């Protein structure tokens, strides 16, 4: 089995496993949840016909007509439309480009019209049609990413304070970026085919290696929040340990009762699901107590370090990392 087939099989396996898990937990009841799973299903269905050989395997059942090519076209543009609706429903849509609401129906309609014209008249070769349709599809997807998804997701990434969700938003941004790079080759190939200049087939293959990181980030997007939390748990536990050292140093210098301190490292170790809350509580204790150090010569150095972290941190996540980086 070649690498491409192994990747597709792995993606389907992860999807089916997580889908069954969601069904057992009753997470397929609400409409937003079903839309999300439809989005992933259409994405993986399009991925399943990655490459000419996979397309030909389906097309042979339709007398060689490019059914797989247009199926991928409809699936990916449909995914963009569904994702746009999701962003609008949760209030995270930041774009003012209203044309995106009508872009998918228009693009799918024109695509189906081109399919009918090709079946009836075959004005160009199948190879030329393939390059043009893929380029048109990727141009539509790139418009969704550039004018809508990227800025909305970037806004959510900036506002996200939970490490696991921030990691997931990072994967989505990297997915958009790597997919956008792959579209450069396909759009260039489509233009070269239409104007009959250069080597369109070569242009289409130049950015193909970026498909693999695109698929990788897509697989990470499929992972549930709890799985991602487990992946980054060691790093977050170390961050909590560093914060506790800073807190302990403040308490020792102030001779403050241990009752004022936040949750202990041992308690978090026994209850890992409370790690993020424990980190938050520790940060609050540090911020509440460190101003008392100001003005005391022996304690001013620690105060200055913490004050610098507070002053220069952009948001909560940056503040946590800055405080944890203080050497005690």
Q: pLDDT tens digits for 23-77?
A: 888 777 777 778 888 999 999 999 999 888 999 999 999 999 999 999 999 999 9
Contact of 210 with 182, CB cutoff 8 Å: yes
Among 308, 306, 312, residue whose Cα is nearest residue 245: 306
Q: How many domains, the chain?
A: 2
pLDDT tens column, 80-103: 999 998 888 876 666 566 788 899
Q: What is the rounded CA–CA span in Å between residue 289 and residue 280?
A: 14
- Based on the domain organization, do 212 and 159 belong to the same domain? yes
- Helix (H) or strand (E) holding 30, with range, is none
- Based on the domain organization, do 80 and 123 belong to the same domain? yes
Q: What is the rounded CA–CA span in Å between residue 59 and residue 67?
A: 6
- Based on the domain organization, do 161 and 273 belong to the same domain? no
- Based on the domain organization, do 211 and 264 belong to the same domain? no
- Based on the domain organization, do 63 and 170 belong to the same domain? yes
Lowest model confidence (mean pLDDT) among 38-42, 64-68, 164-168, 186-190: 164-168
SS3 content of the chain, % helix, strand, coil (to 5): 80, 0, 20
Q: Work out the average pLDDT over 169-181.
A: 93
Contacts of 15-21 with C-beta under 8 Å, sequence gap 24+, read: 15/40, 15/41, 15/44, 15/222, 18/222, 18/223, 18/224, 21/224
Structure tokens at 180: 């956008």
Domain with residue 155: its CATH number is 1.20.1070
- Based on the domain organization, do 220 and 238 belong to the same domain? no
| Residue 295 reports pLDDT greater than 70 | no
Say what the pTM is: 0.80
Among 174, 326, 310, residue whose Cα is nearest residue 243: 326
| Residue 328 reports pLDDT greater than 70 | no
Contacts of residue 52, Cβ cutoff 8 Å, sequence gap at least 6:
130
State which residues form the domain around 240: 233-324
202, 226, 250 — which closes off a domain? 226
Task: Please tell me the predicted confidence (pLDDT) of residue 259.
Answer: 44
- Based on the domain organization, do 174 and 262 belong to the same domain? no
Q: How many CB atoms lie within 10 A of CB 266?
A: 8
208, 226, 244 — which closes off a domain? 226
- Based on the domain organization, do 19 and 107 belong to the same domain? yes
Contacts of residue 24, Cβ cutoff 8 Å, sequence gap at least 6:
none
- Based on the domain organization, do 55 and 173 belong to the same domain? yes
- Based on the domain organization, do 222 and 253 belong to the same domain? no
Place of tokens 């000419």: 52
Q: What is the rounded CA–CA span in Å between residue 182 and residue 143?
A: 14
- Based on the domain organization, do 176 and 256 belong to the same domain? no
């Amino acid at each position: 089995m070649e690498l491409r087939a192994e990747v597709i099989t792995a993606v389907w396996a992860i999807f089916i496993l997580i889908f069954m898990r969601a069904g057992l937990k009753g997470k397929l009841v609400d409409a937003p949840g079903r839309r999300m799973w439809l989005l992933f299903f259409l994405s993986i269905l399009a991925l399943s016909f990655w490459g000419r050989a996979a397309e030909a395997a389906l097309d042979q059942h339709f007398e060689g007509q490019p059914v797989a090519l247009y199926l991928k076209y409809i699936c990916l543009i449909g995914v963009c439309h569904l994702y746009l609706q999701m962003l609008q429903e949760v209030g995270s849509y930041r774009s003012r480009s209203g044309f995106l609401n009508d872009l998918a129906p228009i693009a799918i309609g024109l695509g189906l019209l081109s399919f009918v014209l090709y079946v009836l008249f075959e004005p160009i070769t199948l190879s030329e049609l393939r390059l043009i349709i893929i380029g048109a599809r990727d141009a539509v997807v790139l418009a969704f990413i550039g004018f809508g998804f990227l800025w909305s997701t970037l806004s959510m990434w900036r506002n996200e304070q939970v490490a696991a969700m921030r990691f997931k938003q990072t994967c989505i941004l990297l997915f958009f970026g790597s997919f956008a790079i792959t579209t450069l080759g396909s759009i260039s190939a489509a233009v070269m085919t239409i104007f009959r200049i250069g080597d369109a087939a070569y242009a289409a293959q130049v950015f193909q290696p970026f498909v693999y990181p695109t698929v990788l980030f897509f697989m990470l997007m499929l992972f549930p929040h709890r799985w991602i939390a487990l992946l980054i748990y060691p790093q977050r536990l170390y961050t909590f340990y560093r914060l506790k050292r800073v807190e302990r140093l403040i308490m020792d210098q102030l001779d403050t009762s241990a009752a004022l301190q936040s949750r202990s490292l041992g308690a978090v170790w026994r209850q890992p699901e409370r790690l993020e809350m424990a980190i938050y509580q520790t940060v609050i204790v540090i911020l509440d107590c460190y101003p008392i150090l100001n003005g005391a010569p022996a304690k001013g150095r620690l105060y200055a370090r913490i004050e610098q972290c507070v002053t220069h941190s952009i948001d909560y996540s940056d503040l946590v990392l800055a405080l944890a980086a203080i050497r005690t």
